[in-house]
């Protein structure tokens, strides 16, 4: 991933529950002031040089034979951030939510 690869707005199908998403937000977005509204399924991470707004909704689980993977559709919208800063924040976010594999 390069700085130009992180658009200002995009969606991602993530293999986690809403509760798991919320539990790791502070770790995934260090240095941000987090404003979370779980009832509205939204959060804002306010940084010195902009903000990241996140909205999510639960999707049906993915089933592969006996394996069941929870799914959450997450929308990201960066506000007033340079491509390099978006890349930095998204890279950290992705590392926190990465599971298994090498």
Q: Return averaged pLDDT per consecutive 10 residues of the chain, 102 residues in all.
A: 82 95 96 96 96 98 95 98 95 89 51
Domains in the chain (CATH in brackets) are 3-97 (3.30.1370.80)
**pTM of this prediction?**
0.90
Are the C-beta atoms of 26 and 34 separated by less than 8 Å?
yes
CA 73 – CA 12 distance, rounded (Å): 6
Question: How much is the pLDDT for 99?
Answer: 75
Structure tokens of 30?
């260090």
Closest CA to 3 of 84, 88, 95, 94: 84
């Amino acid at each position: 991933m390069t700085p130009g690869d992180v658009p200002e707005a995009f969606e991602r199908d993530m293999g986690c529950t809403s509760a798991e998403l919320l539990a790791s937000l502070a770790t995934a977005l260090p240095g941000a002031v987090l404003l979370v509204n779980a009832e509205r399924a939204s959060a804002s991470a306010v940084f010195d040089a902009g903000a990241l707004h996140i909205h999510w909704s639960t999707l049906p689980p993915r089933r592969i034979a006996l394996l069941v993977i929870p799914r959450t559709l997450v929308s990201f919208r960066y506000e007033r951030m340079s491509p390099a800063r978006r890349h930095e924040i998204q890279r950290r976010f992705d590392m926190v939510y990465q599971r298994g594999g090498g």
